[in-house]
A and B are shown apart, each in its own frame.
Chain A
Amino acid sequence: MLDLVAVISLTCAFGLAVVYVYGCERLKGTRS
């Protein structure tokens, strides 16, 4: 059970990192 939680957590964490990549890319188009 804990193994499943670990693998799902890791998948979510890496998924979050990918979202972060495209979030940074989108930020480039905005003016502060």
Chain B
Amino acid sequence: MTLNGWLQIALFIAVVLLLAKPMGSYMTAVFERRKTFLDSILKPCELALYRATGINPDEEMRWTQYAVAMLVFSAATLILTYLVERLQAHLPWNPQHLPGVEPSLALNTAISFTTNTNWQAYTPESTMSYLTQMLGLATHNFWSAAVGLALAIAFVRGIARKEMKTIGNFWVDLTRGTLWILLPISIVFSLALVSQGVVQNLRPYDTVKLVESQAATGGNGRPSAITTQTIAQGPVASQEAIKMLGTNGGGFFNANSSHPFENPTPLSNFLQMVSIFLLPAGLCITLGQMVKAPKHGWAVLGAMVVLWFAGTLTAYWAESHANPLLHHVDAKASQLQSGGNMEGKEVRFGIANSALFATVTTDASCGAVNSMHDSFMPLGGLVPLTNILLGEVVFGGVGAGLYGMLIFVVMAVFIAGLMVGRTPEYLGKKIESFDVQMAMLYLLIFPLLILGFASISVLMPNLGLSSLANRGPHGLGEILYAYASATGNNGSAFAGLSANTHWYNYSLATAMFFGRFMMIIPMLAIAGNLANKKIVPASSGTFPVTTPLFTVLLTAVILIVGALTFFPVLSLGPILEHLLMRSGHLF
């Protein structure tokens, strides 16, 4: 670990925290339909959209109506993406003449992008046409993030309102989130990325002659020479901006944010990391403002920062040490070498920014990568995996992080209530059996999907093990990571697992689908139930949710629930791998 590395990490979190309040205040204004500086441009577009679609923006929805509207929207856009993928050979903007996407992969990808997962079981530059990338995938980067924003705001309204049966209008929240928040920031961010060298064009791929030919083995087994290289390109910057801002993570290229056309400079890397945390951090402030308890928003943000720091410290420490089995290798950082474990990392980012990016992308449900998590040391790789298994509530996905965190808040106040022997209250609302039942449903679906599918994959060699590159605890880590990433709607891959098989395409698609919608529904049920409740005045027995003690309790609840659920499988995976590595075994 170096001072330079720590200074960059400190700068990163300082910028995120500085931007949180203005971003949060702006989002409060947008979702409370107050005046903003963009109204003169966007208001006419908003009204035109409502007129065209027959939406009454003043009509409020009960939680069931809100949930069904969200499902109808997701179903329609999912099927659109599936059809675009399957028919891309007959559609325009396909200069490489790529064929239609194979059905299981098309289904997997359509579900993946609809659920904000962006799991990619394919090589984008050789599978998806420009039209598919833009109409099928980039649009989902906006829509799925806007859905997440809308859902989080609906939950916050549920907390803020009293004795009301409704939690807002899904179509209005979706429209305003897209027009006022995601679109303007993405346009500015795309231009910033272009300034750093991120590609933006619609040209066919270039073929260039290599300066030096490369030796290879041909299909007939005879040696041959490679003299040309294809340079893939396309509308990258426009997709890259929303990919990070919307915590989507699906790369235009297979190498994702380690590709020089997606993330060319340390500055573009810094901007990408900040953009991942920008909206989730701002939403904590929005929470505080909408429930009229600003300190509560900061207390929730505090718990996120504590968990983020723990992950970053562990990952940076683990990656700063080289593999101990590489004897007689000078692994110390100097002006001439990075030191530590540089396998799978880009030299232009180094160890600090690779460890930080891996932590940030899995704290949030982004899933973009600028280094290969599979190449991390066992304890380094444990950090992204643990972040996902904790439910991605550390900042979390756009909207999804906040509502996931609020479920833990409900659990924290419930546990605090049990400790003092009185009915738990959260901001004046009594937390009753239905709320706890729904919170438990939310919390149980997650491990059920991950551990269930991982167990089947491990126990059925023909299904789960046939496309696995590594055996032993590392192989288990790869399978566990895949299902955690899918269920948590993260989308990053641990690599080492060839997931483009029928089993993985269908099972991961199922995990993504249920991991998204089956967790959203109980969350909305809590929101609807809370909105309907009376406000009870605070008394001396009320557990305050605005203090550092609340932050400590919330952090402890997240860690205890995560540890109790996943420690056994983690001990058989990365932890065992670390111990075996110390005794000389590699996988």
Say yes or no for B529: interface residue by CB 8 A criterion: yes
Partner of B521, one of A11, A21, A31: A21
CB distance from B235 to the nearest CB of A (A): 27
CB distance from B347 to the nearest CB of A (A): 43
Say yes or no for B469: interface residue by CB 8 A criterion: no
CB distance from B155 to the nearest CB of A (A): 15
> CA of A20 to CA of B29 in the docked complex: distance in angstroms?
33
CB distance from B489 to the nearest CB of A (A): 15
Chain B residues 38-74 with CB under 8 Å of chain A are: 63-64, 67-68, 71, 74
Q: Which residues of A contact B433 (CB under 8 A)?
A: 31-32
Residues 12-27 of A, flagged 1 when their CB comes within 8 A of B and 0 if not, give 0110011011101101
Q: Which residues of A contact B63 (CB under 8 A)?
A: 25
Q: Is the CB of B434 within 8 A of A20?
A: no
Q: Which residues of B contact A28 (CB under 8 A)?
A: 434, 525, 529
> CA of A11 to CA of B75 in the docked complex: distance in angstroms?
8
Residue total for B at the interface (Cβ-Cβ under 8 A): 28
Q: Is the CB of B513 within 8 A of A20?
A: no
Of chain B, the residue at the smallest CB distance from A1 is B103
CB distance from A10 to the nearest CB of B (A): 6
Q: Is the CB of A18 within 8 A of B71?
A: yes
Residues 114-155 of B, flagged 1 when their CB comes within 8 A of A and 0 if not, give 000000000000000000000000000000000000000000
Residue total for A at the interface (Cβ-Cβ under 8 A): 20
Stretch at the interface among B78-86, B182-190, B355-363, B418-426: B78-86
Q: Is the CB of B103 within 8 A of A3?
A: yes
With A3-B86, A6-B82, A27-B437 known to touch, is A18 a contact of B68 (CB < 8 Å)? yes
Q: Is the CB of B521 within 8 A of A32?
A: no
Say yes or no for B522: interface residue by CB 8 A criterion: yes
Say yes or no for B517: interface residue by CB 8 A criterion: yes
> CA of A25 to CA of B527 in the docked complex: distance in angstroms?
12
Q: Is the CB of B525 within 8 A of A25?
A: yes
Q: Is the CB of B103 within 8 A of A20?
A: no
Q: Is the CB of B103 within 8 A of A2?
A: yes
Q: Is the CB of B521 within 8 A of A7?
A: no
Q: Is the CB of B74 within 8 A of A24?
A: no
> CA of A9 to CA of B75 in the docked complex: distance in angstroms?
11
Q: Is the CB of B438 within 8 A of A14?
A: no
Say yes or no for B107: interface residue by CB 8 A criterion: yes
Q: Is the CB of B513 within 8 A of A24?
A: no
Q: Which residues of B contact A3 (CB under 8 A)?
A: 86, 103
Seen from chain A, the residues whose Cβ lies within 8 Å of a Cβ on chain B are 2-3, 6-7, 9-11, 13-14, 17-18, 20-22, 24-25, 27-28, 31-32
Seen from chain B, the residues whose Cβ lies within 8 Å of a Cβ on chain A are 63-64, 67-68, 71, 74-75, 78-79, 82, 86, 103-104, 106-107, 433-434, 437-438, 441, 513, 517-518, 521-522, 524-525, 529
What are 15 of the A-B contact pairs (CB < 8 Å)?
A: A2-B103, A3-B86, A3-B103, A6-B82, A6-B103, A6-B107, A7-B82, A9-B107, A11-B75, A14-B71, A17-B517, A20-B518, A24-B438, A27-B437, A28-B434
**What 4 pairs across the A-B complex have the smallest Cβ distances?**
A2-B103, A24-B525, A14-B75, A21-B67
